[in-house]
Structure 1
Amino acid sequence: MKGAVMPKLTQALPQYRKHSSGQARVTINGRDYLLGPYGTKASRTMYDRVIAEYLASGRSSSFGVRDSSITLAMLMVDYARFAKAYYGTGKNSEWHRIKYAIRPIKSYYASLPACEFGPSHFKVVRESMINDGWARTNINANMKRIVRMMKWAAAEGKLPASVFETLRLIPGLKKGRTEARESEPVQPVDPIVVQKTLPHLPDVVADMVRIQELAGCRPGEVCKLTPSMIDRSGEVWLASIEDHKTAHHGHRRSFPLGPKAQAILLPYLDRGPNECLFRPVDTDKRRRAAASRARTTPKSCGNRKGTNRKRNPKRKPGVAYTTSTYGKAIGRAAKKAKVDHWSPNQLRHSRATVIRKEFGLEAAQVVLGHKSADITQTYAERDAALAFEVARKIG
């Protein structure tokens, strides 16, 4: 077609070509690799080897650069590319936190050879975070991300392992022994505040809050809940979440749902097995239905039903709440109710407080899904029974 623009090939391999010297060559990142006499089997084998090494590097822009010449800027680009592929680009992806953590390095040491990055540079970066007002726990978490970047780089052969081994010995900031500010701990939300907020929430979001109150689950878990995740074969239902906060550690996450939670969930189960129970599209539908019922204009007058909607709105109601949209809905309702702002994370802390007071610390740990590395299978079975007993009585 005349005037058509060919798409850019982003995954094309560097070509096997002939050099003016009669040698075969391949050019990667602007650098020629001579492979031997052009057209020979040996040169083809060498080409395959060089390409395999290039692909194994993740098509790194620093491929072929000597370790001593790799700058921190090159290293950060490569690590960000790796993290994007490994963690994904979701709203809560670790990839975003990594980009945030390495930002001070970019400001101070982008041109520094990565192999020269040592304790003094590490501490300058950390001091810049303190000066910028970052919380102590946040600084420690981000410095660990920087150390993990160096570990990855050492494993990829981009810098000596001694760089990582040295940085990992630097202790984190201790509470009371640094100028870094302390972050405010998440406090339980007052049940009275929750009750005052509920009437100002959409029905769907109000039910999400009630489920969190009863089950003590995380905000992300109630957002992701689908019919297929819930085992309804017993007196107490069991919800199992595959994609959760500690899934990458190999932990399983499940929480029991007692009679009160079951009564709330029942109306939401009449959908596909993998469709989220709580959806913004349902909230929008209920809002429109309520507006229609409250209409005072005769049906023979004014707009006919559905005629005042945009055909192609820029934003359509979604099929799943995110922790962000869920939290914002609660924030708006709290403002309308004229109570202190609170977040869905606080519901989990409130539930822990109630369960610990009534059933003890162990019950709170198992219901909330807190894990310990040395828990045996016997303890796991006892814990499950205890969690079910709590749900049967108060969930």
Structure 2
Amino acid sequence: MPRLTHQTPKYRKHRASGQAFIELSGRRHYLGPHGTKASHREYDRILGEWLAAGRSNTYGVPADSITVVELIARYLSFAKDYYGTPKRGTYNNMRLGIAPLKELYGRTLANEFGVLQFKAMRQRFIGEDLSRPYINERMRQIVAVFRWGASEGLIPAVVAQTLAIIPGLRKGRSGVREPSPVKPVDLSIVEDTLPHLSTVVAAMVKFQMHTGCRPGEVCGLRPSDVDRSGDVWEAKLTQHKTAHHGHQRTVYIGPQAQAILTPFLLRGAEDYCFDPREATEEMRAKRAEARKTPISCGNRAGTKRQKNPKRQPTAKYTTQSYGKAIYRACKDNDIPGWSPNQLRHSLATRVRSEFDLDAAKTLLGHQSIGITEVYAEKDRKKAIEVARMIG
């Protein structure tokens, strides 16, 4: 089989006509008389555009002949490099969200996808009994694909502009199901769950209860993030939900949360505080302790482990694995189920009732771009005071 290479297409000569040409994705682009400065300039221009387009197979295809499936393929290639490929990241959300578009309109010319096709897609989602906000999010994903295509010159801009002005489904006026709101979890249920969790996951839950951080923030916390110079510690996170908007996120850690976190800071500065491998070792140690067969009989500890298991504990919890640990503990012990994100709602409710809305907003990291430095400092002091008292 021939080897796949990424060599730059060459400046070539068509002997019959004496014209120079470059061949890209099976299409010849003639440059003018071979050997002239003008043909070399044209070669440089076309090659530069092709490289800027990511060596796309659709380069040079007229905008009125690109199909929806080709547009989707180009967009996903861009999104994979731009967003990365975590399981719950933007790339996979987009890939799953626009799959029905490819299924229904994959062979349709992209410039023929208009209002009727857009509303037909939306009606399909309504027929699947999806919630109104989720349907609107799916439709925004479709618009994003066409907007990107227009920005790359793949389709006429009017296509994306037309789709963008179609209003979303309005609450109470569309007859579409509304999602159930996320409510605070009863802290007595959390207390009932804690004994059935590993030491690591129980500490994560308690830390969230006192700080109101997001599940992803507690999963990604590292010792290097934590500034311990004050009586209230501050964890300044570089990776969080709104980092791509240029927002800063600080988790304020009061005395109670500090006591929970301190044992998990005794590791490398760049290691994750809460390590799933420690929970796995704890689970195995408990199983060995509960062993009824004498050690002299049966299998020795560790002999039944696979040499190369498909799934191995990693150095960091994900929001999914963290949530599943809580889900299993609740299910196995007949405890009402709850999710880690509900802990934020519980803390927000408490802070708002005991203090005020501004304190809850800052403590939970709900900041907007237009907040002035003076206003942010005022909120910061308020959040530190709250953390000192209840954190």
TM-score by length of 2: 0.94
Whether the 8 Å contact between 2:31 and 2:42 is mirrored in structure 1 is yes
CA distance in 1, matches of 2:295, 2:119: 71
Question: What aligned pairs does 1:91-240 form with structure 2 within 5 A after superposition?
Answer: 91-240=87-236
Whether the 8 Å contact between 2:247 and 2:369 is mirrored in structure 1 is no
Q: Secondary structure at the match of 2:362?
A: helix
CA distance in 2, matches of 1:310, 1:361: 52
Whether the 8 Å contact between 1:61 and 1:74 is mirrored in structure 2 is no
Deviation for aligned residue 1:42: 3.5
Match of 1:271 in 2: 267
Alignment deviations for residues 284-342 of structure 1 (CA, whole Å, 9 cap, x no partner): 12223334444566655555554444333332221110000001000000112212111
1:387 aligned to 361, 370, 383, which one? 383
| Structure 1 residues 13 and 179: alpha-carbon distance in aligned structure 2, compared to 1, 3 A threshold | farther
1:352 to 2:370 alignment: no
Match of 1:331 in 2: 327
Question: What aligned pairs does 1:62-81 form with structure 2 within 5 A after superposition?
Answer: 62-81=58-77
| Structure 1 residues 106 and 189: alpha-carbon distance in aligned structure 2, compared to 1, 3 A threshold | same
Alignment deviations for residues 165-200 of structure 1 (CA, whole Å, 9 cap, x no partner): 222211110112213211111111111111111111
**Runs of 5+ in structure 2 lacking a partner?**
none
| Structure 1 residues 97 and 302: alpha-carbon distance in aligned structure 2, compared to 1, 3 A threshold | closer
Whether the 8 Å contact between 2:214 and 2:344 is mirrored in structure 1 is yes
1:317 aligned to 313, 316, 323, which one? 313
| Structure 1 residues 179 and 103: alpha-carbon distance in aligned structure 2, compared to 1, 3 A threshold | farther
CA distance in 1, matches of 2:35, 2:300: 75
Question: What number of residue pairs does the alignment pair up?
Answer: 390
Question: What aligned pairs does 1:18-33 form with structure 2 within 5 A after superposition?
Answer: 18-21=13-16, 22-33=18-29
Deviation for aligned residue 1:116: 2.2
Deviation for aligned residue 1:153: 1.5
Deviation for aligned residue 1:378: 0.6
Whether the 8 Å contact between 1:130 and 1:179 is mirrored in structure 2 is no
Letter in 2 for 1:206: A
- What is the identity percentage for the equivalent residue pairs of Structure 1 and Structure 2? 51
Whether the 8 Å contact between 1:147 and 1:164 is mirrored in structure 2 is yes
**Runs of 5+ in structure 1 lacking a partner?**
none
Q: Secondary structure at the match of 2:15?
A: coil
Letter in 2 for 1:162: V
1:16 aligned to 11, 15, 19, which one? 11
Q: Secondary structure at the match of 1:315?
A: coil
| Structure 1 residues 63 and 266: alpha-carbon distance in aligned structure 2, compared to 1, 3 A threshold | same
Whether the 8 Å contact between 1:135 and 1:181 is mirrored in structure 2 is yes
Match of 1:245 in 2: 241
CA distance in 1, matches of 2:97, 2:292: 56
